[in-house]
Structure 1
Amino acid sequence: MPIEFQPDNRLKLLQCGVEYFPALLAAIDAAEREIFLESYIFADDDVGRAVAAALARAAQRGVLVQVLVDGFGGGEFPRTLAPEMQADGVRVLIYRPEIASLRGRFRLKRHRLRRLHRKLAVIDCQVAFVGGINIESDFNVPGHTAPRYDFAVQVEGPLVAAVRGTMVRVWEIVVWANFRHRYRVGQLDTPAPVASTAAPGQGQRAALLIRDNLRHRRDIPEAYLEAIAAAQQEVVIANAYFLPGRRLRHALMDAAQRGVSVIVLLQGRVEYRLQHYATQALYGALLAAGVRIFEYRASFLHAKVGVVDGVWATVGSANMDPFSLLLAREANVVAHDRPFAAELRERLGEALGEDAREVRANDWRRLGLVARGLRWTAYYMVRIGLSLVGLGDRY
């Protein structure tokens, strides 16, 4: 299904928290009617407290403030920041709160693995934020002096209404789910829509793509597949958790074999060992097909972005792994705009040149049999896990 791009948007690329949080806080402080915010993580750190305080100030001056946080990623949020925010008038809901418990976390059932992985905000239906940046400090990882590497996009124009619409729909779903669950928090009514008053932007064409468990299960991977299949010059992808399924993997290799420059920027530091080594099991085939692989070393890579032929670009929350593409709720902005794509490509080029190391085919071949065997073991453990929850044949 072709992407329906909306014209007349104004897009601003935001790199890492140092650019994202000042823009978000300024928009929250300027809110007059309503604020919707979704996050996978809402940490009790200096950034989380600053955002919570701004939301509380907005609620106290009469702005409707609704915050939705994932039950797994949110961790201690329901017991730390949430009660204080509620006391100040912020409406808070938890997405699938049952998976916050140990019992919920370790039940290997497909529905219990579904997460709210989106990072979205809409203020007064005039400005929206879409990306991969959680509400947490970039520097909350011990031993890291560089910020976590990630992106978001600030949106003004017609696309803002689409972001608001998907947030309202998920809020309503969680409202009804909480009626039958013991964890109830906040007022559970839904506000009437507010008409968009955003002025036309700079003619930038963009679309919002979501991933859910009903009508939009394949929208994000299909957009990647379509763009990669049409690529003529270059594909650059930065992805935190990279374990693409057969179709995406072969699309990248096919593009490289027909002469397209295909570059993937991946996690260079070990964050989750199973995923990290499972990804490395794919290196041999990708490198043999001509795909160039770089590992980001300055800090943890958390980006989920891509640029194709300097005109197609995406920024969002969706990783190229089975957890994002088969189980989680995700949201990406896709732009068909040369200036925006050029800026994202330039930022990625800086990371590739200054903060990453290229992995060569010889690097893979020099690994001993035991090391390669461990990586393939990790890969098949992930595959077995998918099979146990009934998703093995879909990835």
Structure 2
Amino acid sequence: MPWPTGGTDEYTLFTEGDDLYDAMVASIEAARRRVDLESYIFAADEVGWRLGEALAAQARAGLQVRLMVDAAGSMFSFSREIERYLRQHGVAVRRFHRWSWRQPLRFYRRDHRKLLVVDGHEAFVGGFNIHRESSRSAYGPGRWRDTHVRLDGALAERASALFEVAWSGNHRGEPLAGRPSGDALVPNHSRICRHQVHCLFTRLLQSADRRLFVTTPYFVPDRGTQGELVQAAKRGVDVRLLLPGKSDVPITRWAARAAYRTLLAAGIRVFEYQPRMLHAKTAVADGMTATVGTANLDYRSFFVNYEINLFSANRALCTALEEQFRTDLGDAVEVTARGWSRRPWGGMAAEAVGWTARRWL
């Protein structure tokens, strides 16, 4: 299935947390009307306080400043101290889906988005949370490997509209996606589709004719997505998956490895990133279409959580993402079918546990 051509928007790609946080602070400080920030994790550490102080300064200056953090994702990191500080200086703060005895099931659905919008003209979206683990200056050489993108123009305006919907809590009023150029910023819920990111990701997989490079930290594919990957390989596409060699959630790694046998048998090449925690969520098809955003390749991101992804036909962005993928392969170890068949029995047992729990990961 062909993807719309075009993609004339200009983007800035970030793969280092310090560079991203510098750019975010600079953008916040340059704001003239409003600043909206949404983050799954907002930690009260060196990085969080730096962003928090920038937000507070703009709120004191009279700008509208809003911050929404996920109640579960930031449960142990977003302290009462930093929340009190922000509120005292005029920042409107919300914790998304706090635990409620009246609505216990809603706690399962999380706001996994990471989105900063300034004046409705500039936006940042991607995998980076607000925490020291993504900063080389704070965390050292072991900082997490992640990806974010800055965008402006009509897509930034759309990002602003999407934040408004999230802030209001009325996700059924999600504005419709779509750009004539083929570039789109989409949530996974809209008035016409509850699984919009999953649908467009499937479309991207189907569009590949020559090569398909996918990076994800939590690889727990649903049956349909796994089937699309296999079908791509069967039609001759060079399919490569870059997955974490180490994970902050071990059971998701077990679940991912349970799928290796099927993937390897289909000719898909699987690589495990070694030096540090891999947290980037990107995919590139034929160097011509790509996605980068907050959605992992798992059940929760595709069918449960609130996510936001950029889908783009911008050639420069696609080239940059593909080049970064090849660079990351230099720090990865390929998993071979022969080597995988010889793995210890203990690993097989762990994989069975992970795969059984895959729909809840």
TM-score (normalised: structure 2): 0.90
Distance 1:213 1:58 in 2: 32
Q: Which residue of 2 aligns with 1:326?
A: 303
Q: Does the 8 Å CA contact 1:213/1:327 hold for their aligned counterparts?
A: no
Shift of 1:66: 0.5
Quote how far apart the aligned CAs of 1:145 are. Answer: 2.5
Residue 125 of structure 1, aligned match among 120, 123, 126: 120
* 2:9 aligned counterpart, secondary structure: strand
Are 1:152 and 2:148 an aligned pair?
yes
CA distance in 2, matches of 1:269, 1:15: 19
Q: Secondary structure at the match of 1:166?
A: helix
Shift of 1:371: 2.6
Residue 290 (str. 1) matches residue 285 (str. 2): no
Aligned to 2:177: none
When structure 1 is superposed on structure 2, of 295-304 and 367-376 the one drifting more is 367-376
Deviation (angstroms), 1:15: 1.0
Deviations 1:328-368, CA, capped at 9 Å, x for gaps = 00000111121110011101110111x11111112210013
CA distance in 2, matches of 1:280, 1:8: 38
Structure 2 equivalent of residue 94 of structure 1: 95
2:204 pairs with one of 214, 227, 234? 227
Displacement, 1:110?
A: 4.5
Work out the CA distance in 1 between the residues paired with 2:8 and 2:267: 38
How high is the sequence identity, in percent, across the aligned residues?
A: 33
Q: Find the aligned partners of 1:240 and 1:268 in 2 and give their Cα distance.
A: 9
Give the equivalent residue in structure 2 for 1:62: 62
- Indicate yes or no: 2:327 matched with 1:350: yes
Q: Spell out the pairing of 1:370-381 with structure 2 (5 A cutoff).
A: 370-381=346-357
**Contact 2:240-2:270 at 8 Å conserved across structures:** yes
Separation (CA, whole Å) in 2 of partners of 1:216 and 1:300: 33
CA change 1:143–1:376 in 2 (3 A) is farther
Matched residue type, 1:320: L
Gaps of 5+ in 2: 172-179
Q: In the TM superposition, what is the alpha-carbon distance from 1:146 to its structure 2 partner?
A: 2.9
Report if aligned partners of 2:67, 2:92 keep a CA contact under 8 Å in 1: yes
Matched residues in 1 for 2:200 and 2:275: separation?
30
TM-superposed CA distance for 1:267, in Å, is 1.1
Aligned AA (1:23)? A
CA distance in 2, matches of 1:226, 1:7: 17
The residue number in structure 2 matching 1:308 is: 285
Conserved in 2, the CA contact under 8 Å of 1:304 and 1:315? Answer: yes
Matches within 5 A, 1:90-239: 90-98=91-99, 110-138=105-133, 145-173=141-169, 206-212=183-189, 215-239=192-216
The 1-side partners of 2:109 and 2:211 are apart by 33
Considering only aligned residues, what root-mean-square deviation do their CA atoms show, in Å? 2.6
**Count of aligned positions:** 351
Separation in structure 2 between the aligned mates of residue 145 and residue 26 of structure 1, nearest angstrom = 24
Post-superposition Cα deviations, 1:180-228, rounded to whole Å, max 9, x if no partner, equal xxxxxxxxxxxxxxxxxxxxxxx98521111138644221111121121
> What secondary structure does 1:80 align onto?
helix
1:307 aligns to what SS in structure 2?
A: strand
AA at the equivalent of 1:169: V
| Structure 1 segment 239-278 matched on structure 2, within 5 A | 239-278=216-255
Task: Tell me if structure 2 keeps the 8 A contact 1:306–1:315.
Answer: yes
**Distance 1:226-1:213 versus aligned 2 partners, 3 A rule:** closer
Any unmatched runs of 5+ in structure 1?
A: 176-202, 387-395
